[in-house]
Amino acid sequence: MNSITRSRTLRQRVRTAGVGPWLLLPAAVLLAVFVYRPLFRGVELSFFGSDLIGNPSRFVGLANWVEFFTTPDFQRTLWTSLLIAVLAMCMSVGVALSCVLLLRRWLPGRGFFQVVFSLPFAYSAASASAVFFGLFAPSVGGVNLLLDGIGIDGPPWLQQPAWAIFSIAATTAWYESGFAFLVLIAAIKNVPEELIEAAELDGASGGRLSWSILIPLMRPSLVFLLVTQTISGLQTFTQVYVLTRGGPSNTTTTLVFQLYQLAFGQGTPDFGRASVIGVFLVIVVGLVTLVQFRITHRKDA
Amino acid sequence: MVLAQPSTPKRTRRPAARLRTLRAGDVARFAVVLVLMLLMGFPLYMTFATGLFPNGVLVRSGLFPPLNQLTLDNVALAVRSIPLGSQYVVSLCVVVIQTLAQLVTAALAAYALVFPRWRGRAIAFGLVIATLAVPGESLVIPNYELVSQIGLRDTIFGIVVPFLAVGYPIFLLRQAFASLPLELWEAARLDGCGDVRALFLVIMPACRNQVTTAAMWSALAAWNGFFWPLLITDSPANRTVQVGLSQLVTAETTTPSVIFAGTALVLLPTVILVIVSQRLLVSGLASGAVK
């Protein structure tokens, strides 16, 4: 037997023998128990109602689902979530994209600006919300005290429905802009220098260069941010929990905040109704992700 | 500051050359960037400055109070208002356990998904990737049932147990391993390395950067988690710092300076991490984000 065929069979044995495949087991078991099992259990729970002490033991068929799609309460929650998600995504990606485009060429203090624009990435939803509570709180909030100082009456940031929704979206946008900035910085560095130089030789600069060269070439990253930030906006909870607790009069109640209230809030636990929201989110987020996957991979193919 | 000077040779410019690159319109560009910086930097400044002065002093003195008013009283008040000390310990434990567990399970899984050839590998990879699209909030009710049943409510282990293996680090490491030349692994195996030894002595060291990125992602996610720790813990001393912050907001509604002081304490580790590892974050995000 010559050495080449021997090494080939040895190679084959190495590729197929050993405990290799079994190394997936720990992750597989954990994901099965804590991701896939809850998915199915959530669907099951959504067909049950609570008994007097909050056990999901009464089979109610599709009643929870019918209620979800027909009561105005749920519909308002859905629209509130969507509004916050889109508003926050637009502000965050808009600001981050402007910053990245404006800082592409050298500017005095560019390094400092970059650190400032990326630092919100260090904030969690809870810490950003605590900070914005300090800025927007009724009567003691920093922003309105500052506005008072120059003779302006600040708006009731957290007490009036429209302003409260804006405040929650602004909090979200602010801390998510750090991530968007980091992603877009990486994206603009990948734009070939020759393309930019060629466009500049043709007389394109500033807005024209950004619009027809830079933004199209950063498209995959922009699509990624657009989708992931809309998705995370649909899952808004912490900001509502810290800033408004769903008020004034439920106008800032989002899907996940309502899930929390139904399952873990003051009243009798209602895992059934809450699970409808959970399953609904899985479907929406799954569909949006699938569409994004199709869009990005069609271009690559 | 890591990003202060871009260090790739192509982009380094001498001061004289820099001046030449300024063009007409750059004054306007600078002005716009400055306005954006003031807007986005304002919450940053408030986070770390408000807590250092007595309540209300910072805003009433027009943001720059005399330095002789500096005080650490608010920090002391914040730590007394909620058990921030023990919450810090809980959060540190959560970070260490979650990060280590996620790295180990992810490295093992990524190895199994890249190197050995076996039936069902593609399907297994698909099932792992699919978990990336599942919103965590949708899993809390069934996981709450389970973790309560096995008696782990209100414990550190109850906080970490659903997150000992998660999809994103597996995905990051799988991409990293798949970009290595297969010969590296074959050579290690032919030299008599077992699978586990090949993974930890050859493959992992070859992907040091991506392993660091994955570790940073896991640690940040562990430190910043809110919804699950809020649900699964009850006693104030057993909660994480993030849940503690929400308690602090409720307890100190009328004294923002105490809220800011507590928030600054909780933010210190992640702010330092972001400043120190900014370049790594940029490259890590670039590879992880798109695809």
- The whole-number average pLDDT for the span B22-36 is 87
Closest CB to A27 among B106, B161, B286: B106
* Contact check, Cβ <8 Å, A21/B112: yes
For residue B30, pLDDT over 70 is answered with yes
Q: How many domains does chain B have?
A: 2
Which uninterrupted H or E stretch holds A101? helix A72-102
Confirm whether B285 is domain-assigned: yes
- The whole-number average pLDDT for the span B59-69 is 87
- The whole-number average pLDDT for the span B165-193 is 92
For residue A37, pLDDT over 80 is answered with yes
ipTM, 2 decimals?
A: 0.91
B38 — pLDDT class (breaks 50, 70, 90): very high
B142 and B44 assigned to the same domain: no
For residue A210, pLDDT over 90 is answered with no
Give the separation between CA A228 and CA B54, rounded to whole angstroms: 40
> Minimum mean pLDDT among A6-10, A146-150, A258-262, A270-274: which range?
A6-10
Q: What is the pLDDT of residues B233-265, one digit of tens each?
A: 999 999 999 999 999 999 999 899 999 999 999
Q: Testing the interface with B: which of A10, A31, A236 to mutate, by most B Cβ within 10 A?
A: A31
A25 — pLDDT class (breaks 50, 70, 90): very high
**CA neighbor of B48 nearest in space, from A123, A233, A74:** A123
For residue B68, pLDDT over 80 is answered with yes
B291 — pLDDT class (breaks 50, 70, 90): very low
A135 — pLDDT class (breaks 50, 70, 90): very high
| Dihedral sign computed on CA atoms, order A63, A68, A71, A73 | positive
Cβ atoms within 10 Å, residue B31? 10
- The whole-number average pLDDT for the span B175-204 is 90
Task: Copy the structure tokens of residue B101.
Answer: 């567990």
Q: How close, in Å, is residue B43 to chain A by CA atoms? A: 7
CA A281 and chain centroid, separation: 13
Confirm whether B4 is domain-assigned: no
Q: Compare B280 and A238 and report the one with higher pLDDT.
A: A238
B65 and B101 assigned to the same domain: no
* Contact check, Cβ <8 Å, A20/B121: no
Domain that holds residue B197: 79-289
Give the separation between CA B198 and CA A299, rounded to whole angstroms: 37
pTM: 0.90
B178 and B282 assigned to the same domain: yes
Task: Copy the structure tokens of residue A295.
Answer: 């869009």
**CA neighbor of A167 nearest in space, from A191, A131, A199:** A131
Angstrom distances, CA of residue B121 to CA of A42, B8, B128, B188: 28, 40, 11, 22
B170 and B242 assigned to the same domain: yes
For residue A3, pLDDT over 90 is answered with no
A1 — pLDDT class (breaks 50, 70, 90): very low
Contact B241, B55 (CB under 8 A): no
Of B71, B88, B116, which one is at a domain's C-terminal end?
A: B71
pLDDT at residue number B18: 44
Beta-carbon contacts below 8 Å between A and B: 315
CATH of the domain at B169: 1.10.3720.10
B262 and B238 assigned to the same domain: yes
Owner of token pair 């597989």: A28
| Dihedral sign computed on CA atoms, order A172, B266, B219, B137 | negative
Rg, chain B, Cα only: 24
**CA neighbor of B108 nearest in space, from A121, A23, A168:** A23
Contact B239, B93 (CB under 8 A): no
Name the average pLDDT for chain A. Answer: 90
B57 and B201 assigned to the same domain: no
Provide CATH code, domain A67-300.
Answer: 1.10.3720.10
**CA neighbor of B223 nearest in space, from B265, B287, B267:** B267
pLDDT at residue number B120: 92
Give the separation between CA A26 and CA A31, rounded to whole angstroms: 9
Q: Testing the interface with A: which of B29, B33, B82, B248 to mutate, by most A Cβ within 10 A?
A: B33
* Contact check, Cβ <8 Å, B121/A21: yes
CA A137 and chain centroid, separation: 25
Q: Where are the alpha helices (H) located in chain B, listed in sequence order?
A: 15-21, 26-49, 57-60, 73-81, 84-114, 121-130, 140-149, 156-160, 167-178, 182-190, 195-197, 204-206, 208-224, 227-232, 241-251, 256-276, 278-289
Contact A131, A123 (CB under 8 A): yes
Q: Which residues of A touch B254 (CB under 8 A)?
A: 140
Half-sphere exposure of B114 (CA within 13 A, CB side): 28
Owner of token pair 């078991």: A29
Cβ atoms within 10 Å, residue B214? 26
* Contact check, Cβ <8 Å, B286/A24: no
pLDDT at residue number B148: 96
Confirm whether B6 is domain-assigned: no
**CA neighbor of A121 nearest in space, from A167, A183, A165:** A183
Task: Copy the structure tokens of residue A131.
Answer: 């900070």
B51 and B134 assigned to the same domain: no
Nearest CA in chain B to A142: B59
Give the total residue count for chain B: 291
Using DSSP's 3-state secondary structure scheme, residue B262 falls into helix
Owner of token pair 């007409």: B24
B2 — pLDDT class (breaks 50, 70, 90): very low
Q: Which residues of A touch B134 (CB under 8 A)?
A: 35, 39, 282, 285-286
- The whole-number average pLDDT for the span B46-64 is 89
pLDDT at residue number A301: 41
Give the separation between CA B145 and CA A46, rounded to whole angstroms: 14
Nearest CA in chain B to A95: B36
**CA neighbor of A225 nearest in space, from A123, A128, A94:** A94
B91 and B170 assigned to the same domain: yes
- The whole-number average pLDDT for the span A177-192 is 92
Confirm whether B8 is domain-assigned: no
B10 — pLDDT class (breaks 50, 70, 90): very low
Angstrom distances, CA of residue B26 to CA of B19, B62, B142: 11, 30, 56
Contact A28, B109 (CB under 8 A): yes
A16 — pLDDT class (breaks 50, 70, 90): low
Q: How close, in Å, is residue A72 to chain B by CA atoms? A: 22
* Contact check, Cβ <8 Å, B278/A118: yes
For residue A195, pLDDT over 50 is answered with yes
- The whole-number average pLDDT for the span B57-81 is 89
Confirm whether B7 is domain-assigned: no
Task: Copy the structure tokens of residue B18.
Answer: 């820099």
Confirm whether B268 is domain-assigned: yes
- The whole-number average pLDDT for the span B160-186 is 94
Which phi and psi (to 5°) does residue B37 adopt? -65, -40
B64 and B184 assigned to the same domain: no
Give the separation between CA B104 and CA B110, rounded to whole angstroms: 10
Q: Which residues of B touch A99 (CB under 8 A)?
A: 33, 36, 40
B100 and B67 assigned to the same domain: no
Q: How close, in Å, is residue B225 to chain A by CA atoms? A: 8
B117 and B180 assigned to the same domain: yes
CA torsion, ordered A233, A238, A239, A242, to nearest 10 deg: 170
Confirm whether B10 is domain-assigned: no
